[in-house]
């Protein structure tokens, strides 16, 4: 045996064991999330200060460079120097606020309602919306972190932050029958336009995203063109009507009747009784507009216990055979 190789091998093993032991001895440092109530106080103060010290202007956007202005984006600047006489955003008659409670903390959204749409429908918290948008930080050298310059569909029921979702609920989309251009692009008129100022508790909170540090309050400039009422599981009940606990969230455990970890809005059998939800109700779109309202759904309670059939595993008879 080559004694040098043997000694070298033993040395490597000792070093490896030593290194592993050091790793085991080092305790991982886990930083707990900040207190939500305390963070909201900080965020609220930051947003109010920003609104008091900044003004906005509107800038035309020509997406295709063809001379057609598709929409306008909102640009912000500090009230100072040559801008000293500008009106603070806080003093704008277009600015409103909205209170939202999450995890026992009351948050305030500030919404600059530049223009309401002329369309017929406002989105609910579980609908799909056709929008363009810009997302940016309040401060920093590179504030822009996300945008959609061409109209894109976004599902408000899941996959968007709470403040983004809630900001659009009081706005309507564009006029019907938009113009289809020769190049395939679409020109909308009379669409809704808004800017929302979101505290971190209604955004990503402790989670960081690309371009978004933890505990960042965010600004979104949104143009709303169209609304589709969503029935994610196609059971006949619009998704917003499957929010059983009334918190305007459809992804939480309070909206899972049979506790199968599948929320009702994506569960084809809400009560898990083997009869699909669509067969335990009757739906009639009376005005044929493609939007189902509560008065267009017939619910049943066969055993008279006050629980609707589609939420009661004791009632299994199909109503649509």
- Report domain extents, the chain: 36-228, 252-321
In total, the chain counts a number of residues equal to: 321
pTM of the model: 0.86
pLDDT at 14: 43
pLDDT at 28: 60
Q: Tokens standing for 46?
A: 């930051």
DSSP 212: B
Per-residue pLDDT tens digits for 155-174:
999 889 999 999 999 999 99
DSSP string, 150-179: EEEEEETTSSS-HHHHHHTTT-----SS-E
pLDDT over 80 (residue 203): yes
pLDDT at 66: 79
Give the bridge partners for 280, in sequence order.
none
pLDDT over 60 (residue 200): yes
Per-residue pLDDT tens digits for 241-299:
999 999 999 998 899 999 999 999 999 999 999 999 999 999 999 888 889 999 999 99
Q: Which segment of 174-188, 192-206, 232-246 scores lowest on mean pLDDT?
A: 174-188
Q: Which CATH architecture has domain 36-228?
A: Roll (3.10)
SS3 220: strand
CA distances from 135 to 9, 41, 161 (A): 57, 22, 12
pLDDT at 7: 41
Return the residue matching tokens 């002329």: 118
Mean pLDDT of 37-50: 98
pLDDT at 9: 44
Determine the Cα–Cα distance for residues 173 and 230; give it in Å rounded to an integer: 16
Q: Tokens standing for 160?
A: 């968007």
Mean pLDDT of all residues belonging to the chain? 90
Determine the Cα–Cα distance for residues 236 and 280; give it in Å rounded to an integer: 10
pLDDT over 80 (residue 38): yes
């Amino acid at each position: 045996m080559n004694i040098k190789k043997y000694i070298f091998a033993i040395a490597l093993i000792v070093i490896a064991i030593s290194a592993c032991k050091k790793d085991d001895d080092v305790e991982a440092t886990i930083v707990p999330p900040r207190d939500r109530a305390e963070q909201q106080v900080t965020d609220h103060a930051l947003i109010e200060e920003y609104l008091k010290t900044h003004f906005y202007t509107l800038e035309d956007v020509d997406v295709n460079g063809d001379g057609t202005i598709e929409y306008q984006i909102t640009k912000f600047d500090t009230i100072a120097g040559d801008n000293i006489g500008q009106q603070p955003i806080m003093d704008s008659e277009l600015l409103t606020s909205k209170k939202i409670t999450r995890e026992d903390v009351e948050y305030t959204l500030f919404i600059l309602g530049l223009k309401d749409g002329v369309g017929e429908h406002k989105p609910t918290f579980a609908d799909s919306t056709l929008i363009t948008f810009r997302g940016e930080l309040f401060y920093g050298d590179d504030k822009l972190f996300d945008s959609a310059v061409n109209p894109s569909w976004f599902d408000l029921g899941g996959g968007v932050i709470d403040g983004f979702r809630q900001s659009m609920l009081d706005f309507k989309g564009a006029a019907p029958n938009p113009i289809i251009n020769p190049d395939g692009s679409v020109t909308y008129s009379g669409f809704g336009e808004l800017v929302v100022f979101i505290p971190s508790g209604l955004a990503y909170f402790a989670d960081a995203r690309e371009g978004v540090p933890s505990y960042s309050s965010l600004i979104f400039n949104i143009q709303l063109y169209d609304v589709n009422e969503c029935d994610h599981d196609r059971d006949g009940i619009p998704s917003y009507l499957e929010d059983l606990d009334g918190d305007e969230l459809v992804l939480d455990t309070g909206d899972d009747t049979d506790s199968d970890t599948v929320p009702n809005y994506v569960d084809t059998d809400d009560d898990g009784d083997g009869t699909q939800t669509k067969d335990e109700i009757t739906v009639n779109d009376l005005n044929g507009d493609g939007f189902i309202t509560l008065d267009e759904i017939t619910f049943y309670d066969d055993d008279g216990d006050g629980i609707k059939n589609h939420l009661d595993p004791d009632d299994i008879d199909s109503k649509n055979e």
